[in-house]
């Protein structure tokens, strides 16, 4: 409600609010800007009494008329400390999992979809288009369902059947596109330009959706007893969650809510070795991200984004991670599978492989001395286990008496 205008992150051009996606001068990424001075005077800035969950932060989100808020009860996800994982990995830290998998459609994408669809409603949309590697398509479809808005979803061929089935179940028109995610991304772009449908692809394309990711940062700060974590570890495709959350932590200080002495967390992005355009740039000490042209074979489908044609998204994520004192990391397929099993058996949180990369990377970076002892580490668990259909089917012999129990007594 305090949003003022859009601003190009590259050249600083100011643009009127609206469903706009790139800078008309330099094609840079747009960011929503707010009237922070007015916000400082708002006693209910982080506590809109009319709403619960994510929308309790409605005063710092870009929706003017609250009647346009489209919600399914997203946000307010648990922040769970997991001592068994700390022990398993010999980590002398407080290791927390932010269970974004418990959002209504089962992933962190419910926050950006709720804001994106609310903004589209505010601008009178009857139909929206989105490109997604899976989770965002299911989320967008879910939020459109309650509004009657039509949802056109482009997914890369070979997207996990669980995610596609879920999006279709909500009534979206799900259209598989040949090739990798970047091809789906381009098709959504073309449709939006040609037909004028709002594009709610939750990379950095839609400046409204990125704002929603701030709310995960506010929640973590509140859940830690009004305290900043030292590290936040996040699975990364293009990286709006990392950039959006860091903006949230910055705003807490800038708006005078958190102490000005607060040390902001180091933001750590994690990719799969099978698709690591941002991590590759980090390892090569360059700010320039190149689209990933190699074949991709990963169980972490949620982060298999080659960024071809929108490399600047990865550059913004890398820049933000470095500014925060963080870095990029990556895991092998074996490490991802192992981390998933650890999260499920030690924390009791069913998760998709993409989610687990944050935990696997935190463990490795602790071992390497990057994450320091005695710190607070938050791993973002981005998607639910129901989203992944690659597990071996469960097979067990049927028994008729306790003498046949297949466990050690």
Q: Is 353 in the site for Zn ion (CB under 5 A)?
A: no
Residue where the block lists tokens 């696997």: 360
Min CB(15)–Zn ion separation in Å: 9
**Among 366, 279, 362, 358, residue whose Cα is nearest residue 317:** 279
Q: Are strands 173-177 and 127-131 parallel, antiparallel or unpaired?
A: unpaired
Footprint of Zn ion on residues 81-140 (CB under 5 A)? none
Q: Which is nearer to Zn ion, 25 or 83 (CB)?
A: 25
326 binds Zn ion (CB under 5 A): no
Pull the structure tokens for residue 315: 């550059």
Q: Which of 6, 19, 22, 28 binds Zn ion (CB under 5 A)?
A: 28
Distance CA 384, CA 196 (A): 33
The residues near 340 (Cβ < 8 Å, ≥ 6 apart) are: 351, 352, 353, 355, 356
Q: Does 25 contact Zn ion by CB under 5 A?
A: yes
Count the residues of the shown chain that bind Zn ion, applying the rule CB under 5 A: 8
Stretch that binds Zn ion, among 5-13, 42-50, 115-123, 209-217 (CB under 5 A): 5-13
State which H helix or E strand residue 30 sits in.
strand 30-34
Closest to Zn ion by CB, 12 or 256: 12
When the beta carbons of 28 and 112 are compared against Zn ion, the nearer one is 28
- 146-163: b or e for each residue (b if 16 or more CB lie within 10 Å)? ebebebbbbbbeebbebb
* Part in contact with Zn ion (CB under 5 A); list of ranges 19-27, 111-119, 167-175, 322-330: 19-27
DSSP string, 145-172: HTTT-EEEEEEETT--HHHHHHHHHTT-
CB 97 within 8 Å of CB 216: no
Q: Is 287 near Zn ion (CB under 5 A)?
A: no
Which residues neighbour 59 within 8 Å (Cβ) at sequence distance 6 or greater? Answer: 1, 2, 39, 42, 44, 45, 46, 48
Q: Smaller CB distance to Zn ion: residue 25 or 283?
A: 25
Q: Tokens 């030690």 label which residue?
A: 346
11 is an interface residue for Zn ion by CB under 5 A: yes
Give the interface segment with Zn ion, choosing from 13-21, 35-43, 73-81, 382-390 (CB under 5 A).
13-21
User: Among residues 14, 18, 26, 334, which is the contact residue for Zn ion, using CB under 5 A?
Assistant: 26
Segment interacting with Zn ion, rule: CB under 5 A, options 27-35, 112-120, 168-176, 233-241 = 27-35
User: Is the Cβ of residue 30 or residue 281 nearer to Zn ion in the bound state?
Assistant: 30
Determine the Cα–Cα distance for residues 28 and 15; give it in Å rounded to an integer.
Answer: 12
Smallest distance, Å, CB 27 to Zn ion? 7
Q: Give the nearest distance from C-beta 26 to Zn ion in angstroms.
A: 3
Q: Report CA torsion sign: 31, 35, 40, 46.
A: negative
Binding range to Zn ion, per CB under 5 A, among 21-29, 63-71, 221-229, 353-361? 21-29
For Zn ion, give the closer residue by CB, 23 or 378: 23
Sole window of 4-12, 86-94, 215-223, 252-260 interacting with Zn ion (rule: CB under 5 A): 4-12
Q: Which is nearer to Zn ion, 24 or 146 (CB)?
A: 24
Among 2, 3, 6, 8, binds Zn ion (CB under 5 A): 8
Nearer to Zn ion, 10 or 94 (CB): 10
- Residue 11 CB, nearest distance to Zn ion (Å)? 3
CA distances from 244 to 17, 166, 191, 203 (A): 19, 26, 26, 11
CA neighbours closer than 13 Å in the CB half-sphere of residue 101: 26
Using the contact rule CB under 5 A, the part of the chain among 10-18, 82-90, 376-384, 385-393 near Zn ion is: 10-18
Q: Are 152 and 128 in contact (CB under 8 A)?
A: yes
Question: Two tokens at 346?
Answer: 């030690």
- Candidates 1, 4, 5, 13; binder of Zn ion (CB under 5 A) is 13
Minimum CB separation of residue 294 from Zn ion in Å reads: 31
Q: Does 23 bind Zn ion (CB under 5 A)?
A: yes
State the residues that interact with Zn ion by CB under 5 A: 8, 10-11, 13, 23, 25-26, 28
């Amino acid at each position: 409600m305090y949003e003022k205008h859009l601003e190009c992150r590259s050249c600083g051009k100011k643009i009127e609010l609206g469903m706009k996606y790139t800078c008309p001068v330099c094609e840079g990424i747009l960011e929503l800007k707010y009237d922070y001075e007015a916000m400082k005077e708002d006693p209910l800035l982080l506590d809109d009494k009319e709403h619960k969950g994510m929308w309790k932060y409605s005063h710092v989100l870009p929706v003017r008329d609250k009647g346009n808020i489209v919600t399914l009860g997203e946000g307010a996800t648990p922040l769970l400390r997991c001592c068994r994982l700390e022990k398993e990995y010999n980590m002398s830290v407080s290791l927390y999992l932010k269970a974004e998998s418990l959002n209504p459609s089962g992933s962190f994408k419910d926050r950006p979809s709720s804001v994106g669809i609310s903004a589209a409603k505010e601008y009178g949309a009857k139909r929206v288009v989105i490109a997604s590697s899976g989770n965002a398509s299911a989320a967008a479809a879910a939020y459109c369902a309650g509004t009657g808005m039509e949802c056109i979803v482009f997914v890369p061929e070979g997207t996990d059947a669980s995610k596609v089935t879920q999006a279709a179940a909500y009534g979206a028109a799900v259209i598989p596109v040949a090739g990798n995610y970047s091809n789906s991304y381009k098709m959504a772009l073309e449709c939006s330009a040609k037909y004028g449908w709002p594009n709610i692809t939750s990379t950095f394309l839609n400046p409204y959706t990125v704002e929603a990711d701030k709310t995960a940062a506010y929640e973590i700060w509140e859940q830690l007893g009004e305290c900043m974590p030292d590290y936040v570890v996040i699975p990364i495709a293009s990286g709006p969650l990392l950039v959006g959350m860091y903006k949230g932590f910055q705003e807490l200080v800038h708006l005078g809510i958190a102490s000005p002495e607060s040390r902001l967390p180091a933001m750590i992005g994690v990719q799969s070795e099978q698709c690591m355009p941002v991590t590759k740039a980090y390892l090569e000490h360059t700010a320039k991200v190149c689209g990933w042209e190699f074949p991709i074979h990963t169980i972490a489908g949620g982060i298999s984004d080659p960024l071809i044609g929108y490399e600047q998204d990865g550059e913004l994520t890398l820049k933000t991670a470095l500014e925060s004192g963080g870095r990029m990391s990556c895991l092998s397929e074996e490490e991802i599978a192992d981390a998933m099993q650890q999260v499920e058996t030690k924390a009791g949180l069913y998760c998709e492989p993409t989610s687990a990369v944050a935990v696997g990377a935190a463990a490795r970076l602790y071992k390497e001395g990057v994450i320091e002892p005695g710190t607070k580490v938050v791993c973002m668990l981005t998607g639910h286990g129901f989203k992944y259909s690659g597990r071996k089917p469960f097979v067990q012999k049927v028994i008729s008496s306790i003498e046949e129990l297949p466990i050690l007594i």
